[in-house]
Amino acid sequence: PVAETFRVIQGAMSEEYVRTTQGVFQFELSGDEGGTWYIDLKTKGGSAGSGKPPVTADVVMSMSSGDFVKMFT
């Protein structure tokens, strides 16, 4: 569910979101598919996926993977 959620987020990226948001979000998830994930809405084109963001995160959130999926669905 976490990887699929990030695939959906990546597919929804647009220059408009990047231009208006200008933030990088890092998620420290526990549980199934836990680990470090990110959404970069600051770098041209934006990106999302597993691992550390390509630039320093503006916000770091820690939560369970279940709560993350609930938050984005």
59 dihedral zone (left: phi>0; alpha: psi -120 to 50; beta): beta
Name the stretches of the chain with pLDDT < 50: none
Residue 48 is part of a domain; what is its CATH number?
Answer: 3.30.1050.10
The 8-class DSSP code of residue 54 comes to S
Query: How much is the pLDDT for 61?
Result: 98
Query: How much is the pLDDT for 26?
Result: 98
Query: How much is the pLDDT for 57?
Result: 98
Say how many domains are in the chain. Answer: 1
- Domain of residue 56 covers 1-71
pTM of the predicted structure, to 2 decimals = 0.93
pLDDT tens for 60-72 read 999 999 999 999 9
User: From CA 29, how far away is CA 15, in angstroms rounded?
Assistant: 27
